[in-house]
Every structure is written in C-alpha cells, then in structure tokens.
Chains A and B, each alone.
Chain A
C-alpha cells in the first residue's frame, strides 16, 4: 500500500518570502501525486497534480511542485507568498489502477503567512 509523509505540521513564513512544503511518498509501483489546499471551514481544492511527463508541475495561485522519483518526493513551492495563501495543504498519492484509484492523504501542513 502507498503512504504519504508531510514532514512539517506547521510552516510560518513572512509575506513575499518563498516557501517550500515537503512531501514524501512510499509506493512499490508508479503513482499519481496531488496537492490540495483547504481554507478555513471549506472543502479541499486541487492545486496541482502529477500524472506523468515533465517532473515540474505548475498549478493554480502561483504554486508549483517537482516530482523526484529517486527521492520519492513531491515538494510544493511558491516563490513569493501572500497573506491569502494562509491555509492547510495536503499532499496525496494514488495508484493508477482501475477507475476508483483512491487517494491516500498526508496529515497536512498548515501554512501561516504573516506581515
């Protein structure tokens, strides 16, 4: 079975600074990888996904992530954060078999952006 580890439960950062949220996964087969964002009292929204091809994936709101197969990582980055990026971010993995291919989520990283 696959699993996801988000190494940081909280990441404080000043506005306009760069940020990296770390995600490592474990799987014996090829995987799909996803990042979701959850704003307070809302559902989760897809930021970006990696299925195949280019290892650098660009998403919404200026976020990007890089798939590194040798390090089994899929870290999320943004060169300059805004106050509105304050939210919880979840990394998720699925195995691309069958129509149901379930997502397994990490425990989340709370990004706190301050002035």
Chain B
C-alpha cells in the first residue's frame, strides 16, 4: 500500500550509541517531517525538509541530524543517544501547503 514506511518499529539503545531511523514515502510528496511524541506533550517537530535538497530545524533539534537522501527518503540520526531521547518517533509527508500530513506508523525508541 502507498504511504510512509518507517524502520525499525522498535529499538533499544544504550546511552552513547548511535543509530539512524529510516523513513520512505512513495506518494511523490515534496515535504517530509520528523516528530517525536512524548506523554502529555503532543508531537514536537524535530526537523523537516520542504523539498529535496533542503532541511531545517524544528522545535527540538538538539541531539539529532537529518538527511534528505532523495525525494522519497528522509532519515533521522542520533549520534550519541541519551535517555531523554526515549520517545516514539513519527515521520510524515505531504505534497504541499493545503494538505494534511500522511504519517508513518512510528518507531518506539528506548535509550537505557
């Protein structure tokens, strides 16, 4: 089915380890986003990419980096994981300004 695919679905890291969360969409959307979801805090924007070749910081970018590899793929990297990065991470995409997001199913990350 068309949509946004995130891998992995679950991950446990030790403090200081690094990892990359993968996101791919097959809807030819221009814009892609990474959010984190924490209890009682809703979703907070980490980074986004308005179009292929561009990336910008969101509300909570510290400790993360992103790569817009091509129009389909937008990855999120944790260089040195910290317990405060324990969260559920969602990737989303949309074709343009007048549209809502299509979300992936999320990655549940635990940092111990």
Contact = CB atoms under 8 A, between A and B. Distances in A.
A105 B33 CA distance: 13
A105 B106 CA distance: 16
A51 B98 contact: yes
Contacts of B19: none
Interface stretch (A14-22, A79-87, A91-99): A91-99
A89 to B, nearest CB: 11
B8 interface: no
Interface in B24-80: 30-31, 33, 35, 40-45, 48-51, 56, 58
B96 interface: yes
Interface string A46-75: 100101000000000000000000000000
Contacts, number: 65
A46 B101 contact: yes
B105 interface: yes
Contacts of A98: 50, 97
B98 A32 contact: yes
Nearest to A42: B105
A43 B103 contact: yes
Contacts of B42: 90, 105-108
Interface string A3-21: 0000001000000000000
A102 B103 contact: no
B98 A103 contact: no
B90 to A, nearest CB: 6
A107 B58 CA distance: 17
Interface of B: 4, 30-31, 33, 35, 40-45, 48-51, 56, 58, 90, 92, 96-98, 100-106
Interface of A: 9, 32, 34, 36, 42-46, 49, 51, 90, 94, 96-108
